[in-house]
């Protein structure tokens, strides 16, 4: 309740103060800011993921502008020879407006990624879009096999979604899920979400998926080490983290034989986007406040 109340006051905070509070999470407003940050991370031994902040494109022109920016990002990554994935939210490319036009925008970016030997990831948004996102992903993957998907352990449906993935190797980022969903569709307790995450991880490794475990939960990372050991030598896996979140853990996780890949968001919409996310998910707001106050 307290965090919900505080989160509703976020729009009152002046932008320069918000900018300072968010500096560790958001690389900046421009593509150059993001590429500079990804280069610095590369120099410290961390490959990256680039994300243009935005969702729910209001019209086709906005979705086209987002896809043009991603195409510029792909060129920038290649020019700087960075090991960086491109990560895109379907509603940012207009999934809620016109699924066909959204697919065409993904295809254009996927084609260029393929030309330049880069990977693209279709992100997962709230449960209203799960079916449409999986369909988009499978269609895209049929012509661009290096595209990957995000699956959310929180959702009850995820084991069935893993079982229904088409034949062949899939590239999956496994997350707990940032969107709070009702108990009819999702686990709501942290322990149940972690147990579901482990079960999903086992299922994905058993079907030889390339898996990115995206989490900052050290207890979960410790359990995953056992899951990976049980799966044997032939697994393709890495850890992924959000820039600025628990950086003191990254060297330990990396030295334990995992690649740690850092997700770098940027864009002019950083303020509206971050405020909306934190208001929708007070747990996220609490995590941010804790890390600012206690430097976690
Ligand atoms: P938690 O138990 O939530 O957190 C573990 C610890 O990390 C806690 O101490 C917590 O305070 C701290 N922490 C976690 N997040 C933050 C934060 N933002 N700021 C400060 N401290 C924090 N979700 C989706 O639904 N769809 C996606 O496409 C998606 N992509 C993602 C990509 C990456 C690379 C990552 C790392 C996460 C992504 N997520 C996505 C978010 C994910 O679903 C979780 O909401 C988020 O990672 C927090 O869960 P956790 O596993 O870190 O565990």
Domain-embedded: residue 151: yes
Domain span at 251 = 27-266
Give CA separation, 4 vs 262, 280, 286, in Å: 28, 9, 9
Q: What is the mean pLDDT of the chain?
A: 92
Domain-embedded: residue 250: yes
| pLDDT tens-digit readout, 186-236 | 999 999 999 999 999 999 999 999 999 999 999 999 999 999 999 887 789
b/e code 262-276 from CB counts within 10 Å (16+ = b): bbbbbbebbbebbbe
- CA-nearest residue for atom 26, ligand 1, is 124
Q: Which atom of ligand 1 is nearest to the CA of 197?
A: 51
pLDDT confidence band for 19 (50 / 70 / 90): confident
Domain-embedded: residue 277: no
Q: What is the CATH number of the domain that holds 114?
A: 3.20.20.220
Q: What's the confidence (pLDDT) of residue 171?
A: 97
Domain-embedded: residue 90: yes
Mean pLDDT throughout 146-163?
Answer: 97
Ligand 1 within 6 A of 217 CB? yes
Decide: 144 and 133 in contact? Cβ < 8 Å: no
Ligand 1 within 6 A of 263 CB? yes
Decide: 242 and 216 in contact? Cβ < 8 Å: yes
- CA-nearest residue for atom 35, ligand 1, is 214
Q: Which atom of ligand 1 is nearest to the CA of 215?
A: 51
Domain-embedded: residue 98: yes
As a whole-number percent, the residues of the chain with pLDDT over 70 amount to 95
* CA proximity to 241, closest of 222, 267, 259, 266: 259
Domain-embedded: residue 295: no
| pLDDT tens-digit readout, 251-270 | 999 976 689 999 999 999 88
Instruction: Give distance in angstroms: CA of 140 to centre of ligand 1.
Output: 26
Domain-embedded: residue 281: no
Q: How far apart are the first and last CA of the chain?
A: 23
Instruction: Give distance in angstroms: CA of 29 to centre of ligand 1.
Output: 22
Ligand 1 within 6 A of 123 CB? yes
Instruction: Give distance in angstroms: CA of 178 to centre of ligand 1.
Output: 7
Angstrom distance (rounded) from CA 259 to CA 284 = 25
- CA-nearest residue for atom 2, ligand 1, is 217
Domain-embedded: residue 12: no
Ligand 1 within 6 A of 288 CB? yes
Report the domain count for the chain.
1
* Predicted TM-score (pTM) above 0.75: yes
Angstrom distance (rounded) from CA 254 to CA 260 = 6
């Amino acid at each position: 309740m307290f965090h919900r109340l505080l989160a509703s006051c976020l729009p009152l905070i002046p932008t320069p103060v918000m900018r300072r509070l968010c500096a560790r999470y958001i690389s900046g407003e421009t593509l150059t800011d993001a590429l500079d940050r990804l280069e610095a991370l590369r120099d410290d031994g961390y490959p990256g993921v680039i994300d243009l902040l935005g969702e729910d494109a209001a019209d086709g022109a906005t979705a086209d502008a987002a896809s043009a920016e991603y195409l510029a990002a792909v060129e920038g990554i290649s020019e700087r020879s960075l090991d960086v994935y491109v990560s895109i939210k379907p509603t940012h490319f207009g999934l809620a407006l016109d699924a066909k036009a959204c697919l065409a925008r993904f295809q254009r970016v996927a084609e260029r990624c393929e030309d330049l030997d880069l990977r693209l990831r279709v992100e997962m948004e709230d449960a209203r879009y799960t079916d449409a996102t999986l369909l988009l992903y499978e269609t895209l993957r049929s012509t661009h096999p290096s595209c990957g998907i995000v699956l959310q352990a929180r959702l009850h449906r995820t084991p069935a979604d893993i079982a229904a993935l088409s034949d062949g190797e899939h590239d999956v980022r496994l997350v707990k899920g940032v969107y709070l969903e009702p108990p009819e569709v999702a686990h709501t307790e942290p322990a149940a979400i972690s147990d579901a995450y482990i079960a999903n991880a086992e299922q994905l490794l058993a079907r030889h998926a390339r898996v990115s475990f995206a989490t900052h939960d050290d207890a979960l990372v410790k359990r995953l080490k056992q899951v990976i050991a049980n799966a044997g030598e032939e697994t393709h896996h890495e850890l992924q983290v959000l820039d600025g979140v628990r950086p003191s853990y990254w060297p330990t996780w990396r030295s334990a034989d995992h690649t740690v890949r850092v997700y770098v968001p940027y864009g002019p919409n950083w303020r509206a986007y971050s405020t909306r996310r934190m208001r929708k998910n007070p747990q996220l707001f609490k995590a941010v406040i804790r890390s600012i106050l206690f430097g976690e």
